[in-house]
Structure 1
Amino acid sequence: MPETVIISELDLALVNALQLRPRASWTELAPPLGVTAGTLARRWERLCGEGLAWVSAVPGREFVRTRCTAFVLLRCRPGSRADIAERLCAFEEAATVELTGPGSADLLLDVLAPDLPALTRFVTTRLEPLPGLVSVECLFATSLFVEGSRWRLRSLAPTQLSALGAMAPGAGEPASVVELDAVDRALLDALVRDGRLGLAALADQADTSPATVRRRLRRLTDCGVLAFRCDMASALSGHPVPVSLLGRTPARDIPTAHRTFAALPECRLVAAVTGTSNIFATLWVHDLSDIQRREAALCSRLPTLTVTDRIVGLHTVKRMGHLLDEEGRRTGMHPIRPW
């Protein structure tokens, strides 16, 4: 039987606060959460140690514009899916690997690459030759309107949300996209593993100074190359059911469709994609019956939207490089290097 996970209201509030402020210090978070910094540090150490929550670096808002993202649907021969999923987890291009319910796909991947040629090489030389693979369908993202770092646990009170929002740093002036050097890449590699590493630890790993680390992180986040997000095991997120919807709507209605999806609290991701369907969205719903209700509500608000496929996630074995067990706990990682 799965081990019983004891989650407190403070645990949920802490994770929600880190979704909003992933790299805030415990001293900053203590007043809004009403406990001491030491208490938060101990709680976070326990959550991380048990694989219940973690903070990591992920591609920022400009990734789709300057680099390449694709959602890849795989069909496998009977009995080969688990082996293929295990092999895929070792590929740094496969940021997320999800086993799906019976339907049009057996596996769903989020693939990240520096450019289209790199993504093409991954598909043709590493993915397609895998034994047991029957078919590969790539949906290239042309715009990404919502991604996983925007999904919220919704455990904080309005006063706590206001306090955290008030202390959030300004976005700064948008910077032009920059070429990454060895220091940038060393920082990204370290932060993919642990997004809360301090400036001194990052400086040691990148062989530079804490002041340089601070400047580099600000530049990378301002230009949209880098973002941070707090992820969690199913026990903390309420054991949601992931469902990815593929839809088709006239090009003129795509912005309206994206805004409608993005307004849903269940929305985890929404993107414009290539192919016969031009919208890809992932929702985290309460149970299977919610899928039909949510789809009906969406179609009533978006009369030109036709849902062409529904892909139910059964088990995410890798999420943004972090390996997960059947309870969604982090057990290890194969780092992503999409930059």
Structure 2
Amino acid sequence: MPDSPTVDELDRRIVLALQLNARASWKQIANALGAPESTVTRRGQLLLADHVVAVTGVLDHLRCGLGISIYMRFRARPGRALAVAQAVAALSAPRFVTITIGSFDVAAEVVVKSHRDVMSVVSQLESIDDVVESESMVVIRKFSAFEEWDPGLLGGQATGVLRTGGAVTDYAHRDWVEPEQLTEQEFEIARILAEDGRATYATIAARTGISESTAARRVESLVKRGCLRFRCVFESPVIGFGVEFLLWLIVEPGRIDEVGERLAKHPSTRYVSAATGRHNLILQGVLPHYGDLYQYTTQVVGQLPGLVTADLTLQVQTLKRAWVPIGPDGRPSPKEHR
């Protein structure tokens, strides 16, 4: 894994605060951290300017009927994992791409318009030079998403301050059946927030030709309906998690709900979803140290009810998150979005 940007304790706590509420004001973050507002503002703006962290607005494609997710894994010719990952990341459909150690060399999450488009996109990815084998799994329900993750490092009081006042933390994924229909104006607002998830209502108003109060109402409506969420993009070592992994599980069908909900509540889980294909649960997680892997495997994974098999692959370099390119230095560069 490439070296991550160096940060001090206050920087780390500011990033943690942004993870809990990516659009929190600097005043709100300062109150939560018990630090001077001027200091938090200066340091937070510097973290964003230096690309230690980025904030992007992400439309939930499942909620909005904009597409479906496919997780793909690739085996590459010896020594060609990076070249394959770069070729995958260069395409528009993948929103997450990482190099892994384990049963496969590269993993990606790909968004396609509908299940009818799966084969054309999969064929395009499988035809990449140096890909020798691949497998695909279609996401059919999320149990938790990155935006909901609470690393549990700031304490209950700070978390309460940051997640009070409009920050949606329970997206009720299981209750969504009929997709929301977005207006062209809402899509325009979403595009602006994809470029800068902390764009002010004044900025949104100026670029869309609406009033600030209307811009605020539109954004709040999108968030409340579960259509728009704000993703804080950073590499996990920045906040003290040195190990990042993907967990591919086969669970008895009757226990998928139980296991998915259980894993969603675990503090190491950043994302977990149910899928079709060889593995019916897919998880992205983090741990502080390499030495924590054994206990996680035996005490967390090994105790799951209805577990048939588990395949854990370590992430060694991530090239793309939420469509934001990640440089070799671990810095997000929000230059392209969907």
String of CA shifts for 1:264-292, please: whole Å, max 9, x gaps. Answer: 21111111111122111122123334333
Q: Tell me whether 1:42 sits opposite 2:37 in the alignment.
A: no
Query: Which residue matches 1:257?
Result: 259
Find the residue that maps to 1:100 and give its secondary structure. strand
| Contact 2:5-2:330 within 8 A present in 1 as well | no
Residue type matched to 1:129 in 2? S
- Which deviates further from its counterpart, 235-244 or 42-51? 235-244
| Contact 1:16-1:154 within 8 A present in 2 as well | no
Gaps of 5+ in 1: none
- Which deviates further from its counterpart, 310-319 or 86-95? 86-95
String of CA shifts for 1:93-144, please: whole Å, max 9, x gaps. Answer: 110110111x3211100112332234443223x3233222222211111111
Q: Tell me whether 1:156 sits opposite 2:150 in the alignment.
A: no
Query: Which residue matches 1:51?
Result: 51
Query: Which residue matches 1:127?
Result: 125
Q: 1:294 to 1:155 in 2, by over 3 A?
A: closer
Q: 1:320 to 1:169 in 2, by over 3 A?
A: closer
Query: Which residue matches 1:109?
Result: 108
Q: How does 1:27-106 map to 2 (within 5 A)?
A: 27-60=27-60, 62-63=62-63, 67-101=67-101, 103-106=102-105
| Contact 1:76-1:134 within 8 A present in 2 as well | yes
Q: 1:199 to 1:154 in 2, by over 3 A?
A: same
CA RMSD of the aligned region, Å? Answer: 2.9
| Contact 1:65-1:142 within 8 A present in 2 as well | no
When normalised by structure 2's length, the TM-score is 0.87
Paired with 1:216 and 1:329, the residues of 2 have a C-alpha distance of 31
Paired with 1:133 and 1:172, the residues of 2 have a C-alpha distance of 39
Q: 1:313 to 1:151 in 2, by over 3 A?
A: same
User: 1:5 Cα deviation (Å)?
Assistant: 4.9
- Which deviates further from its counterpart, 141-150 or 202-211? 202-211
Residue type matched to 2:217 in 1? R
Gaps of 5+ in 2: none
User: 1:213 Cα deviation (Å)?
Assistant: 2.1
Residue type matched to 1:52 in 2? V
- Which deviates further from its counterpart, 321-330 or 174-183? 174-183
String of CA shifts for 1:147-190, please: whole Å, max 9, x gaps. Answer: 21122343323322233344445789999743333322222222
User: 1:234 Cα deviation (Å)?
Assistant: 4.0
String of CA shifts for 1:296-332, please: whole Å, max 9, x gaps. Answer: 1134432420234221111001111222234422245
Q: 1:63 to 1:111 in 2, by over 3 A?
A: farther
Paired with 1:171 and 1:319, the residues of 2 have a C-alpha distance of 20
Query: Which residue matches 2:323?
Result: 321
Paired with 2:179 and 2:214, the residues of 1 have a C-alpha distance of 18
| Contact 2:100-2:316 within 8 A present in 1 as well | yes
